[in-house]
Each structure stands twice: as C-alpha cells, then as structure tokens.
Structure 1
Amino acid sequence: MKNTQRPVVVSFSGHDPCGGAGIQADIEVITSYHCHAATIITCLTEQDTKNVSAIVPQNPDNLIRQAKTLLNDLPVHAFKIGLIGHTDTAQVIYDIVRHYPLIPVILDPILAAGGGTDLANDGLIESMRHLLLPLTTVLTPNFTEARRLTNLDDIEACGLKLLDFGCEYVLMTGADEATESVENRLLNYQHQENYTWARLPSKYHGSGCTLAASIAALFAHGVEPLKAINDAQEYTWNCLQSAYKTGAGQSNPNRFFWRD
C-alpha cells in the first residue's frame, strides 16, 4: 500500500485577500514541497497587490483554541511564523510553540508591507525580541527588518545581535537594497555565508513568505540546515523569475513554476 503520510508544517500568519502573501502563500509553498500545510490565522488584512490598508488581529482566546484543537490532533514537523499583527498574538504564539522545543521554528519577522504600511509597533518588536527570537531556528529578515529589530546600522552587527537574542540561524535578505545584485547573508555562531542572486526586474508580493515557508518545508523533510537554507533561496528565486501579474501592483510568485 502506498504511504500517503506527509510532513506537517503549521503556519501562523495573516490572511491576504488577494492571494499573494500570508497564509495562501504558505499553503502553496508547503504543498509544492509535498508537505501538508496546517494553518492558524493570526489576523485578517485589508490589502491589494499595492499595499496593506488595515489589519484586524484574531481574538487571543480564539487563537489559543484554534491552535490547541489543531495540535492535539496533528503531528507537527515545523512551525512557520509570518505576520503577527499584535503583541497579544505574539504572546499566544510563544505560549504554544515553547511546548515544542524539538520542532524547528522559521520566523519571517514582517514589520512593514511592501507598499510601506507599518505592521509592527515598538511593543510588538519588543515581544518578538524577547519571546519569539529565543525560540527561532531560522530568522529571515530583510536588511531593513534586521536593522529595526536591533537598532543597529551595520548589517553584520545586526546579524550577531539577532543571534544573541537566541536565533540559531539568521538569513538576512538584501532584495530591498540599492545593489546591482541581491546579496543575502547567513550567520550562525559556527558559520557565515554570503549568497549572490541575479536581481529580477519586478517587485514581488509575498517573496518573504515564500522563502520562509520553503525553509520550513525543507526542515520538515529533515533536510540539514545549510542545504535547506540554500535550496530555499534557489526555489524562491525561481518562483520570482516565473512570477505573474494579477493586479496593478506587485507580481505574484509562481510557487508551482516546476509544473509549467
């Protein structure tokens, strides 16, 4: 009989009505890797392909019940955390994930929308630093987020400070920097590596979600960390290279490019 079991990745993130980022992006990526996506909605959003207009956080009690019901039934092989939206939500995620110390946690610390809307106040950033970063296996901030999380300018100093907060690996992405190519930087206490990717011509909706969910899926399959981080970047670049337009703003990554 064919084995129908798949690794389970549990995603905490917001709902994006236009389908390019958030929970839908995570589901697409996780499914693309032949994992099963289980989802916990942190917040609803009002957004399009250009920007986020508003977020409505989930009631903390509802969030706790949703997560406990799910996790009492399903095994979990990796956690992926995306848009949080509120300090209370960060506390709930911490209270849940801390009971799974052997399960990898991939955190995409979304602090602002691609269109510029601020999505994290100082209180939420403080909660990330002291609650979630100590639980994080791989943190995937862009350079702007890394600087904001640490209040530092030098990017290597940012990475080291994020490790000091408790992250095991920090992958800082440079797509938003004014450079000819995209320079990503990986740090942990035993290893540092720079990655260079050809810069693509468009702006993309949900590229950070794609990268973090990809790393989570590879960890769920048991891929060793450095290979997972490298392969996830390659997958993400291919998704962006094959991106398509649905609205007037950013392009949507094609997370099933391999089927075309």
Structure 2
Amino acid sequence: MNNFPQTLTIAGSDSGGGAGMQADIKTIQERHVFATNVVVAITAQNTIGVQDSFPLPLELVTKQFESLAADFKIRACKTGMLADAEHVAVVAQNLRHFDFGPLTLDPVMIAKGGASLLADSAIDTLRSELLPLATVLTPNLPEAEVLTGQKIQTTADFKIAATQLQKMGAKNIIIKGGHLDNSDQACDYVLYADGSDDWLNTPRIATVRTHGTGDTFSACLTAELAKQVPLKKAIQISKAFIQVAIANPIAVGHGHGPTNHWAYQEVEHD
C-alpha cells in the first residue's frame, strides 16, 4: 500500500479545464503519477477569461489537508491559485504541519485573460509564509518582477532577481522567460540551491493556445520529483513536456486555448 508515487496540487478549479488543478491533474496523470488535490477556490472560467471566483472557507481547506494526510503517502506537492492572504496563510500553516515532500511553488497571480488570481494584499504573505517552504519556485517574468520589485529585461536581471528570491528562502529558482518577447527563443533561467545556474532555451512558438502553461510546467516538475527524479533532470523533462504541449495544440475555445497535455506521450520518449 502507498508505494505508488503520489502528489498533491493545492490550487483553484478552472471550469474551462485548461489551467488550474485540472491542468495539474491531467499533467500528473500523463507522467504516470497519482494526483490528489486541495481546492482553494472555484472559478467560473473559460479560454476567454475569468468571469467569477469564490474562495472556499478556510476550515474546509484545512479539512482537505487533514483528509489527505490521513490516507495517502504524498511524495511531492505544488501550489497554484491561492486567492488571498488568508488562504495563503492557511496553506502555509498546513504545509508546515504535514510532510508532503518537496514543494513546487507556482506563484499564480494573473490569468492569461488578465484577471487577478491573487489579491495584492497577499503578496507579502506569500513572500513571508510560503517562499521559505519552497523547494522550487517557478514564477514567470511578471510574477518575478512583482515578488522582487524590479524590472527584468536582461540576462543579468534574471540572475539578480533569482538571487533575491533565493535570499527570501526559496531553495531553487526557475524564472520563466516566456513573456520576454524580444527573442525568438523562450529562455528560462534556473538558479540551484548550491549556487550553480543554467539556461533552458527552446524555440518560441507563435500561438494563442498557451492557457495553463505555468500550471502544466510546475505540475510536470512535481510529478517527476514524486518519482524521485533528480531536480535537474526533472526540470529538463518539464521544459520538454510544455514545449511539446504548446507545439501540438488542441483547437477548443475562442480565446487563449489550452495546451495539449497528452502530446508528450505521443511524440517523445523518456
């Protein structure tokens, strides 16, 4: 019992199925890992945008953590949409209480359509409560700028920002450069806990079907860590996974469509 790799996603529900915990669960399943979930918030959402959202009661969030801890052997976990400062705090409290393995912290702030998924008042709580718990922090460019309070435009800026984030407590930093549109490459910067660093570069793909890319990347990383894949290899697999998912799109929705979560299994081999 409980020998199969198991993960936890702590996030919001995307009714459109392309991002949030739906994207997490689809991705984790594709990597042959079992996914559990703690629902923090429910959204009315599609590829066009977020029409409404509702954070769940704090007591119910904690009850979900307790329920999972009583039955499953979770080997890695991740966060996504956490809504507001109160929910960030209760998630951090439960992650300190329960050992769910390495934490991948995806600091989700803005949906593809522009809707805010994290209250401004929650940023400080995220910095102080969750960053010190993170094994891996995976902000995109705008999120890294918010967390550090500085613009990131050059390769030197990436390194400075990652160092700042590491000083806040996160052990390993991946700043995703997909929003930096002055290059034909999508360049991600990785700063490891031991001070070594790396760049992950893939060809930029011109498409609007990028809904849930950050969730998908961090979910793949979480699944690999649950299988005890070394971090550097896990990051490389996750970068390849999301690249293939974007390059082989699914034609659904009228806005920022989803990535293809099963594409990697069809065109790549471990």
Q: In which range does the TM-score fall when normalised by the shorter chain? A: over 0.9
Give the CA deviation at 1:100: 4.2
Q: 2:150 is matched by which residue type in structure 1?
A: L
3-state DSSP class of the match of 2:218? helix
Question: How far is 1:155 from its partner?
Answer: 2.7
**Corresponding residue number in structure 2 for 1:198:** 203
CA–CA separation in structure 2 for the residues paired with 1:230 and 1:183: 13
Residue 152 of structure 1 pairs with residue 141 of structure 2: no
Alignment of 1:209-228 (within 5 A): 209-228=215-234
Query: Cα deviations across residues 154-180 of structure 1 (Å, max 9, x unaligned)?
Result: 332211111011111110111111122
Contact 1:9–1:37 (8 Å) recurs in 2: yes
1:139 to 137, 140, 148: 137
Aligned equivalent of 1:164? 167
**Alpha-carbon shift at residue 141 of structure 1 (Å):** 0.6
Query: Structure 1, unaligned stretches of length 5 or more?
Result: none
Separation in 2, partners of 1:8, 1:81: 15
**Distance in 2 of aligned mates of 1:226 and 1:28:** 23
Q: Which residue of 1 aligns with 2:69?
A: 71
Which residue does 1:187 correspond to in 2?
A: 191
Cα distance in 2 for residues equivalent to 1:35 and 1:201: 31
Q: Residues 28-107 of structure 1: matches in 2 within 5 Å?
A: 28-100=26-98, 103-107=101-105
Q: 8 Å contact 2:81–2:118 — kept in the other structure?
A: no
Name the TM-score, length of structure 2 as normaliser.
0.91
CA contact (8 A) 1:147 1:155 kept: no
State the distance in 2 between where 1:107 and 1:208 align.
11
In the alignment, the residues of structure 2 paired with residue 47 and residue 88 of structure 1 have an alpha-carbon distance, to the nearest angstrom, of 22
Measured on the aligned residues, the alpha-carbon RMSD in Å equals 1.6
Contact 2:9 2:36 in 1 (8 A): yes
Identical-pair percentage: 28
1:251 positional shift: 2.3
Call closer, same or farther: CA 1:100–1:62 in 2, change over 3 Å. closer
**In 2, Cα distance between the equivalents of 1:14 and 1:196?**
29
8 Å contact kept, 1:202–1:251: no
Return the offset for 1:236: 1.1
Unaligned 5+ runs, structure 2: 152-156
Q: Which residue of 2 aligns with 1:250?
A: 256
User: Take 1:122 and 1:197, find their aligned partners in 2: how far apart are those partners?
Assistant: 32
Q: 2:20, 2:123 → 1: CA distance?
A: 19
Q: Is the 8 A contact 1:21 1:205 kept in 2?
A: yes
Tell me which residue corresponds to 1:176. Answer: 179
Residue 101 of structure 1: how far off its partner (Å): 5.5
Aligned-pair CA distance for 1:36:
0.5
Compute the displacement of 1:22 (Å). 0.7
Count of aligned residue pairs for this structure pair: 258
Q: CA deviation at 1:5?
A: 4.5
| 1:220 CA displacement | 0.2
| In structure 2, distance between residues paired with 1:5 and 1:152 | 44
Residues 61-119 of structure 1, C-alpha deviations (whole Å, 9 max, x = no match): 11111210121111110011011011111111111111345710001111111111222
Distance in 2 (CA, whole Å) between partners of 1:155 and 1:143 is 9
Gap change, CA 1:157 and 1:92, over 3 Å in 2 = same
Residues 44, 53 of structure 2: 8 Å contact kept: yes
Offset of residue 9 of structure 1: 0.4
